[in-house]
Amino acid sequence: MASTQWEAGSRKSTTSSASEGRQRYQELSSLDHFSSGRQDTGSMGYPTDGFASEAGGSQQQLQQADELTEQILRRQVPWETYQKADLISDRELQLIKRYDKQERPTQQRLLLEAEEGVLYVNAFFSLLRSIASEEVVQYVLALLEDMVKEGGSKVVGLLKAATTGQGSGDTCAILLRMLQRPDWFTQEKAAFVLSSLLSFTPAAASPATSAPLAAMAPPSSSSSAAAPAASSHSVHTFVEWLCNELRRPSNERSEATAITCLSMLLK
């Protein structure tokens, strides 16, 4: 009974937050600056050209954000250092080095044409779980965003499959923690990847993605039953964060980013 009451209360609170976000989104979408043009989107509606441009971000802001992302993606991360410190395994090091700094078509092939696609994603989430360095966190989140923009629903399916379903290992839980970090770059990238994950439906996954999803499915009925509650909690927490960014922006891009994330969740 207590569980049922909590779930009902959680749904009510989440619905209230989502309604507030939807109302704010509709109000801002009616402004003239939203009619200046729409961004390109991937097969599931994920923005692929200038995240938050549809929500009214200035061209200068978008250009600066893109330049910063490219600058961060040019970083050379000493992966061996983290393996020697036992923050990542030997196998994870191999996967990360095989993927990192490759051309985008090669990266997509590694993710989507090999059975190890989920393992690559798991390796990068292992970094987010284990390493606190701002430089590494920013780099990994920029890589994850790039994965989604390049691969659309197929890659998001792999991201979804990468969850272990056990507390801190859960992909959504990891990304929600990233929203609490102090730098806006980290928050924005985490928000984009989280929006992609929470708006994903298995029906949209391709056959190539469905197999990894099935293979990674929780084996027990209790784990399966806990999944909807965990997802509901993630949505509730994320929508609350988005609404707070609309009410009290922490960055000049907060409003545009929050609106874009809400539009992805409400589609």
What per-residue string of b and e applies to 126-151 under the rule 16 or more CB within 10 Å gives b? bbbbebeeeebbbbbbbbbbbbbbbb
- Least confidently predicted of 24-28, 206-210, 211-215, 240-244: 24-28
Q: What is the pLDDT of residues 73-102, one digit of tens each?
A: 999 999 999 999 999 999 999 999 999 999
Tell me the helix, strand and coil percentages in the chain, rounded to 5: 75, 0, 25
Output the pLDDT for position 1.
52
- C-alpha distances (whole Å) from 210 to each of 83, 99, 125, 126, 223 are 31, 22, 20, 22, 19
Long-range Cβ pairs for the range 121-124 (8 Å, 24+): 121/147, 121/158, 121/159, 121/161, 121/162, 122/92, 122/162, 123/88, 123/91, 123/92, 123/95, 123/96, 123/99, 124/96
- Please state, for a pLDDT cut of 70, what percent of the chain lies above it: 65
Q: What is the pLDDT of residues 188-233, one digit of tens each?
A: 999 999 999 998 877 655 554 455 444 444 444 444 445 566 678 8
Output the pLDDT for position 227.
56
Please state the pTM of the whole predicted model: 0.74
Output the pLDDT for position 98.
96
Q: What is the mean pLDDT of the chain?
A: 76
